[in-house]
Amino acid sequence: MKGRRVVVTGIGAITPIGTGADGLWDGVIANVSAVRAINRFDASEFPSRIAAQIDDFDPGDHLDARRARRLDRFSALSVAASRLAFVDSGLDRRRARDTTGVWIGTALGGIAFGEEQHAGFVARGVRGVAPTLALAVFGGAGASNVALDLGLTGPSVGNANSCASGAVAIGQAFAAIRDGTVDAALAGGAEAPLAPLTFGAFAMIRVLSQRNDDPSRASRPFDRGRDGFVMGEGAAVLTLEERDAAMRRGARIIAEIVGFGASNDAYHMTAPRPDGRDAARAIRAALSDGQIAPERVGYLNAHGSSTPLNEPAEARAIRAAFGVLTDRIPVSGTKGLYGHALGASGAIEAAITAMALDREILPGTCNLEDPDPTLDLPLLRSATAARVDAAVSTSFGFGGMNAALVFARHD
C-alpha cells in the first residue's frame, strides 16, 4: 500500500429508504422503492412529476433548535448525517478536533434554498429574504457547517463535481489520511434539490423518468424499460480513520478503503462518452491505486442511473476495465430504491458497498424485471449472501466526471 492504511469506522445516512447505517441497510434489504408522486411542490406543469422524497427528516431531531432553524435543508442534511457518522464511529470529539477533516460533495448545494429566497424577494423585496442566504448557497456551506457543528479544525473541503461529488469527497479524504494530512475524516455527500425550478431544470431537458402513473417502478437501473432517472434527495457520510489508530482504540471496522480513481470524458456536458473509455480508466486507476488485482473484486455497485444513454456506456466501461473477468463479478444498481440524489448518490452507494462487505450480503437491483440484453452484465436482481474480498463503487456525472472507489473486507 502507498502510505498509511484507511478504514471505515462509521456511517451516517439520511435517505428516502432509511436513516442511519442500519436504517439504510434495512431499506436495501427490503428492496422496495421509495419513489412517489411529488407533494413538496406543484409539479403538474412538468413532464416528470415523481421523486424520492425524505418525508420523515426533521432537522430538530438531530440538531439543537437554533441551528435547526438557521440551516437550509442541504446544510441540515450534511450536519445530521455527519453527526450520525461521528457517533457511529465512537470517535472522541475532543481528541479528534485538530486531526480530523471534513469533505462534503454536492452537485447543487443550497440552490433550492436560494430559489425559495428569490420567491420571497420578488414578493416582498429584501425584507422577504432570509439573512442566512449568503451563507447557504456557496459550495462549501455543507462542509463548513459540519466543521462548526462538531468543532473540527482540520481541512474543510466542499466540491461540486456533479453526480460524482460524493465519491470524489470520499476519495480525497482517503488520500489525505493515507498521506498523513489528517488522521480521520468525515466524508460524503448531501443533496436537497427538490424545489420547482431546480427540479424543473432537469425535467425540461428530459433526463427524468416520465413514468408518472407508476412511480414505484420508475427508477429501474439496467432494465429494458428504463426511461430516465428519478430525482431524489439525501445524505451519507463515512467516518474514515487511519487504520492503526482505529485499531488501538478498539474501533469497529466496517471495511477498508484501498483505492480511488477519477477521470473526465472531455466529450459532452450531459452525454457520456459512448465507448466508456475514460470511465474505464477511472476504475482501472482505482484498482491500481489500491494495488488490488481485478481477480479479487467480487462485487460492483454501479452508478446505474436508469437512463437509456448512460448505462450502455457504463456497461462498456465495466467490461473494458475487467475484460473477461466481468462475467464473474456480480453487478447491481441501487438507485431503483432511492432515486438519484445527484452529488449524494456516490456517498450513499459507497456506504452500501462498505456494508455489503461487512455484512456479507450483495444488494439486488430494484425493479430489474427485464434486463437489457445489450448491456451484457451479470446483474443481481435480489440480495445475495456472499463473502467477497473487494468491491468497487462507481459514480459518473454531468460534465464527463468519473470516479471509482475500491473497498476491501477488513480482517
SS3 (DSSP) at 336: helix
Which residue out of 62, 118, 163, 268 is catalytically annotated? 163
Which residue out of 62, 340, 366, 410 is catalytically annotated? 340
Told to judge if 410 belongs to the known catalytic residues of this protein, a careful annotator would answer no
Check residue 31 and give left, alpha or beta (phi > 0: left; psi -120 to 50: alpha).
Answer: left
Outline where 273-381 has alpha helix (H): 277-289, 310-322, 335-338, 345-359
C-alpha grid cell for residue 201? Answer: 431544470
Length of the chain: 411
Q: Phi and psi of 409, rounded to 5°? A: -65, 135
Nearest 5 degrees, angle CA 281-CA 379-CA 404? 25
Secondary structure tally for the chain: helices H, strands E: 14, 15
Nearest 5 degrees, angle CA 198-CA 34-CA 351? 85
Told to judge if 366 belongs to the known catalytic residues of this protein, a careful annotator would answer no
Pairwise CA distance, residues 324 & 321, whole Å: 10
Told to judge if 163 belongs to the known catalytic residues of this protein, a careful annotator would answer yes
Pairwise CA distance, residues 51 & 216, whole Å: 10
Contacts of 383 (CB under 8 A, 6+ apart): 28, 29, 31, 361, 362, 363, 364
Q: What is the DSSP letter of 226?
A: -
Which residue out of 62, 118, 268, 303 is catalytically annotated? 303
C-alpha distance across the termini of the chain, in Å: 16
Pairwise CA distance, residues 85 & 13, whole Å: 8
Catalytic residues: 163, 303, 340
